[in-house]
A and B are shown apart, each in its own frame.
Chain A
């Protein structure tokens, strides 16, 4: 049976070059970068080199990069760290209803700690109105966090515009760029962000490696207490192979991002046009143009997403209904709770035209079958 992986938004396979770059740091250069001897320094040099690469890619300075264990940790560090550091100056946080759980859950935690959170609604295509952000700002507002692109419906939000408003009002601005970093241009200055989260495994790097960009001068509390790693901001022995692999994934993205965007956008169009042409009462969720190149999110009237997912999985197509972080949880997605039968196909490097043809063959059949069962 043909196997087609269309869940690149959940995770991606590490690029073979990435794996290759990591291997020496598991075995030969295995030292602790904090060790004083030259063996330790050789590991520290690898971490420094990776930091330079990643910083350059982001248009940042190396000491504005803190390596973490992943996007979720980065988001927690940003939200909780910024909130606690600003306590006393204000207690109001602005975010949106479509953020990832790694933003929404820390916000709930902060509410229990006495902070107040405004969750801005989005329009039918998942867009946030920058004006709504402006109106939500109060003298108590200490942090705004709006995701760069949504992980389920793929909508790319107007971050630069919101960043401009935040800067004008002197409010710290964070964006969760886990879905965009390494896929579409992400530049800290262009986006006007103070804090930015990214994760390596979403763009062919290893799992367990992420970063938080912290613009110089931004006040953020320590997240992990312990040793002096990451300039006292994030203790723990460095995951040297993970950090090196992260940087290698960045290098690969740097040279191939434009081509990948083109490739994925073409495949995406093919899927969307194919599905909407072949299946009646099908709907594309998210924004028609302002969307991630690899994201397709569809719903089909009278079709349960879970059932459709199972049918596709049985036909060798790996995809999901919403975000992987809630995949085992069968409750409706908080992003799409109004829409039933949503299906996310997220495309990536290894997807071919033939894979798409296969999906366009299987998917209409599955939908037809489920609708027939539903009617019977």
Chain B
């Protein structure tokens, strides 16, 4: 059976050239990047070359890139490190309700450490309003974190406007750009952010490597203490092969960005158009300001996980909610934050496309998916009599 992998927001396969670039560092070039003899120096050069590539992808200086073990670590580092470094200055942090768990749960951890957190609501497209952010800033506000693009609903936030609001008030601004970096243009100068999280495996690099951009002069306490690696900002023997892999992935993403975007956008539009034909299916997230590879829906009367598993039986791999929460089998907090009713949020299905997908695969999914929806609806006790949403509000999500 042919595999149609439409779960690129969960993770990506390695680009073959990325793997190739990593291989020497598993083998002959295995040195510790802190060692002073030639093996160590080769490793150091490779790490610095990769740092320059990652920096170039987001239009930053190499010295502003700190490698971490993942995007989640970068988010934890940014939230906790920047907040704790400003503890004397104030104890108020602002995040949006539609953030990834790694931001939300870091914020909750900060609450236990005596911080006060404001969780900004989003509109029914998932957008944070700059005006609302402005009103939420108080004298004690020391940090704002708003995701660049949502893995779950694909919405791309107006980070430039939001960071301008923060800058006006002298508040540090972080963005979780894990889902966007490598997939759409990300320019830290243009976005005006102080910190930005990214991960290797969302840009066809390896899992187990990420990075945090830290604008020069931004105060931040380390998350992991120990050796002098990463300028003392992140201890631990550098994972040279993975760092190299992320560097190569960043370079390829920069070179192939436009082609990749066009490729997935075409497929995505075809997919959305096809699925829109199914009755009672609604696109979630912003209709235009969204990741080009992202198509997310809620399907009335049936459960996302049932759809997902039936699609998987056909070799079509998708997600329901985000991968990090999909084992929890509860309604996605992100969808709820858009105002999607709890029952309807259960019917979440997310297709995220990648550079390897083809039109054929999309057509195959378009042939199978409506049948699966019909089959499941035939079994659903709600399908005939409709759903009682309780506080249903028809304008709370986007009609497909």
Q: What is the interface of chain A, defined by CB distance below 8 A to chain B?
A: 5, 7, 10-14, 16, 19, 22-23, 26-27, 30-32, 34-40, 68-73, 75-76, 100-103, 105-106, 108-109, 199, 201, 206-209, 222, 224-229, 235-242, 309-310, 313, 317-320, 323-329
Contact = CB atoms under 8 A, between A and B. Distances in A.
Nearest to B311: A37
Given A26-B14, A69-B73, A327 B34 contact: yes
Contacts of B320: 36
7 tightest CB-CB pairs across the interface, nearest first? Answer: A239-B208, A227-B324, A208-B239, A325-B227, A69-B69, A226-B102, A102-B226
A23 B245 CA distance: 14
Given A34-B10, A227-B101, A236 B206 contact: no
Given A13-B27, A226-B102, A35 B323 contact: yes
Contacts of B235: 72, 76, 101-102, 105, 325
Contact of A12 (B19, B30, B207, B208): B30
Nearest to A323: B227
Given A12-B30, A237-B70, A36 B239 contact: no
A237 B207 contact: yes
17 contacts: A30-B11, A32-B10, A34-B324, A35-B326, A37-B317, A38-B312, A40-B7, A70-B239, A236-B72, A236-B102, A237-B70, A237-B207, A239-B208, A241-B206, A318-B31, A318-B35, A325-B229
A31 B10 contact: yes
B13 A30 contact: yes
Contacts of B14: 26-27, 30
Contacts of B100: 226
A63 to B, nearest CB: 16
A181 to B, nearest CB: 15
A72 B319 contact: no
A5 B39 contact: yes
Interface string B354-366: 0000000000000
B54 to A, nearest CB: 16
Interface of B: 3, 5, 7, 10-14, 16, 19, 23, 26-28, 30-32, 34-40, 69-73, 75-76, 100-102, 105-106, 108-109, 199, 201, 206-209, 223-229, 235-242, 305, 308-309, 311-312, 317-320, 323-328
Contact of A228 (B69, B207, B241, B327): B327
B64 to A, nearest CB: 20
Contact of B207 (A71, A224, A238): A238
Contacts of A73: 69, 224, 236
Contacts of A237: 10-11, 70-72, 199, 201, 207, 323-324
Contact of A7 (B5, B19, B28, B35): B35
A26 B206 contact: yes
A16 B239 CA distance: 17
Given A69-B70, A318-B35, A207 B239 contact: yes
B323 A206 contact: no
Contacts of B73: 69, 224, 236
A106 to B, nearest CB: 5
Contacts of A310: 36
Given A34-B10, A76-B226, A325 B72 contact: no
Residue from A31, A32, A325 whose CB has the most chain B CB atoms within 10 Å? A32
Given A36-B309, A76-B226, A206-B239, 13 more contacts: A14-B27, A23-B19, A27-B16, A30-B13, A32-B7, A35-B319, A69-B236, A105-B226, A207-B240, A228-B325, A313-B38, A318-B37, A326-B228
B226 A227 contact: no
Given A72-B235, A228-B327, A242-B208, A313 B36 contact: yes
Contact of A37 (B11, B76, B308): B308
A318 B39 contact: yes
B115 to A, nearest CB: 13
Nearest to A80: B225
Contacts of B76: 224-226, 235
A34 B237 contact: no
A207 B238 contact: yes
Contact of A329 (B30, B40, B228): B228
Contacts of A19: 23, 26-27
Nearest to A207: B239
A215 to B, nearest CB: 23
Nearest to B236: A72
Residue from B71, B199, B206 whose CB has the most chain A CB atoms within 10 Å? B206
B37 A235 contact: no
A34 to B, nearest CB: 5
Nearest to A5: B39
B105 A225 contact: yes
Contacts of A235: 72, 76, 101-102, 105, 324
A101 B226 contact: yes
Given A69-B208, A224-B72, A32 B11 contact: yes
Contacts of A106: 225-226
B324 A70 contact: no
A136 B225 CA distance: 25
Given A226-B72, A227-B325, A324 B34 contact: yes
A315 to B, nearest CB: 10
B248 to A, nearest CB: 13
A196 B284 CA distance: 45
Nearest to B329: A36
Contacts of A13: 26-28, 30
Nearest to A43: B11
Contacts of A100: 226
B146 to A, nearest CB: 17
Contact of B32 (A7, A22, A37, A238): A7
Contact of B7 (A35, A201, A225, A240): A35
A30 B12 contact: yes
Residue from B69, B109, B228 whose CB has the most chain A CB atoms within 10 Å? B69
Contacts of A229: 324
A322 B130 CA distance: 53
Contacts of B239: 69-70, 206-208
A236 B69 contact: yes
Contacts of B208: 69, 208-209, 238-239, 241-242
Contacts of A224: 70, 72-73, 76, 102
A324 B237 contact: yes
